[in-house]
A = this chain, B = another copy of it.
Amino acid sequence: MSAPSTAPPATVSPLSPGPTVAALLADAQPGDSAVVRGWVRTRRDSKAGLSFVELNDGSCLSNLQLVLPHDLPDFAERATPITTGASLVATGEIVASQGKNQRVELRVSDFAVPGGADPDRYPLQKKRHSFEYLREIAHLRPRSNTFGAVARVRNRLSHAIHEFFQDRGFLWAHTPIITTNDCEGAGEVFTVTALQAAKLAEAAAGGDFVRDFFGKHAGLTVSGQLEAEVYATSLGPTYTFGPTFRAENSNTPRHLAEFWMIEPEVPFCDLEGDMDLAEAFVKTTVAEVRARCEEDMAFFAQRIDKTLPQTLDAIADHAFVRLPYTEAIDLLKSSGESFEYPVEWGHDLQTEHERFLTETHFKRPVIVHDYPVGIKPFYMRVNEPDEQGRETVRAMDVLVPRVGEIVGGSQREEREDVLVARMKAQGIDPASLWWYVELRTYGSVPHAGFGLGLERLVQLVTGMQNVRDVIPFPRTPGHAEF
């Protein structure tokens, strides 16, 4: 049968690693010789003198089936550590598969096991585990089908986001993480300090961080928008892509203390242009993932959310509806629906209202725009009052069926006097953001942008229900291990 040969080395140069499992499954022909390196998902021994091993190397959802003849030298002893979770290096010949689940398999001529995985202790056995359990072993869950697929989709989506902006001449700006801006959501800002023990106690008690690293109280950023505006009003279209933080004590499937945000900012742009950009962004990045991650996307549609293709088709196939907030209120009021939360001009839309618009009425994504001034931040551009004297700002939210809000943006207030008045009205000292105000003092331009949470977008394209399952190591109240 198989002639004795030498096991391939456990290492290979990353510059010429040879084909991955994904590449072999796609392209290898019977008669090709191949070396594979990966981790054992399952092993089955047949009475016909063969062992069947499903090997995964992370390059795709599918495993490569390895067939190991029992007449390989010292097989019984050498193959003992080949159990679920073990690493395995194998060389052999590609053959047409007898099984119906794969086109080709590898007839193994020699192998080595760099690291075993004691079957009595390995926490990730073949059986199906709950997502809750897998969160407790976040260091091993990427070895499961679901979390491998999430990782690949998240990677592809992230790179598609970079490509979307780079192809259009945007600059990636690394806006700061540590900041002394305290204009937004002060109660939800994590404190950053280099003080220890007694000195920290003293500073905390007195509320005086003048002896701390940065000479004043510092926190973790909740948004890179204000700094992105600096680049946009100097260098042209800009985007951020980095971590942001909320010290919000919310234990829900929708909240993380640390998550990744994308925030484009465009000079010489108004709200219409901003909506154009947001719609193109969502359509392009979602389409890219569907085209490039076909196998993983089929898995999500089959195993995680059967309505996923329908949700994503609604994004791909239709122009997003653009609906002024005031018209949305009229539409909801005249809908005849009985909502739990009353519909009233001046109040924010609730989830039930958003779902009525996207799922019941329009059956497609809807961009609601021009919201009441009272429910939006100081930096959004103020409109002329309408005929009834109601004031709105040039804000917009992109709402998607089944998922809800995925993008929030606005045209920014570029008029210094209006901006300063709005800051004062909201209790923000303009002097504390002197540099932000100065973008309007010197060479001000109309500009607009939006923000989008990466995890929300990953949830949209995968159908994963809990945000903790779409980020490698979730940070939530009580949880910052790993």
The chain A residues found within 8 Å of chain B, CB to CB, are 10-15, 17, 20, 37, 39-40, 57-59, 85-87, 89, 114-118, 121-124, 137-140, 142-143, 148, 151-152, 154-155, 158-159, 162, 166, 168-169, 171-180, 190-198, 200-202, 204-205, 207, 213-216, 218, 220, 227, 230-231, 234-237, 242-243, 245, 247, 249, 257-258, 260, 266-270, 272-274, 276-277, 280, 414, 435-436, 438-446, 454, 471-473, 475, 477-482
Contacts and interface: CB of A to CB of B under 8 A. Distances in A.
Contacts of A482: 176, 179, 227, 230, 435
A214 B480 CA distance: 6
Contacts of A195: 191, 204
Contacts of A114: 414, 444-446
28 contacts: A11-B268, A13-B269, A13-B276, A14-B273, A15-B280, A39-B443, A58-B234, A114-B414, A118-B441, A118-B442, A122-B442, A138-B230, A143-B443, A152-B235, A177-B177, A177-B245, A177-B258, A178-B475, A190-B213, A191-B200, A194-B247, A194-B249, A197-B207, A214-B257, A215-B478, A216-B480, A227-B472, A435-B482
Query: How many subunits of this chain does the assembly comprise?
Result: 2
A169 B152 CA distance: 10
B58 A243 contact: no
A40 B204 CA distance: 47
Contact of A213 (B20, B214, B257, B472): B257
Nearest to A188: B194
Contact of A236 (B20, B159, B179, B444): B20
A231 B12 contact: no
A166 B156 CA distance: 9
Contacts of A277: 13-15
A89 B443 contact: no
B194 A173 contact: no
A243 B224 CA distance: 13
Nearest to A59: B236
Given A39-B443, A242-B242, 6 more contacts: A11-B273, A40-B443, A58-B171, A139-B436, A173-B472, A227-B482
Nearest to A198: B205
A480 B204 CA distance: 19
Contacts of A242: 242-243
Contacts of A122: 442
Nearest to A432: B481
Contacts of A154: 174
A193 B190 contact: yes
Given A190-B194, A190-B213, A482-B176, A140 B200 contact: no
Contact of A214 (B440, B471, B478): B478
A142 B174 CA distance: 13
A177 B480 CA distance: 10
B200 A204 contact: yes
Contacts of A218: 480
A443 B10 contact: no
**Top-7 shortest CB links A-B:** A115-B444, A58-B235, A200-B204, A142-B234, A58-B236, A139-B435, A194-B247
Contact of A243 (B171, B174, B481): B174
Contacts of A87: 443-445
Contacts of A86: 442-443
B20 A169 contact: yes
A112 to B, nearest CB: 11
Given A177-B258, A180-B481, A117 B443 contact: yes
A171 B280 CA distance: 25
B37 A142 contact: no
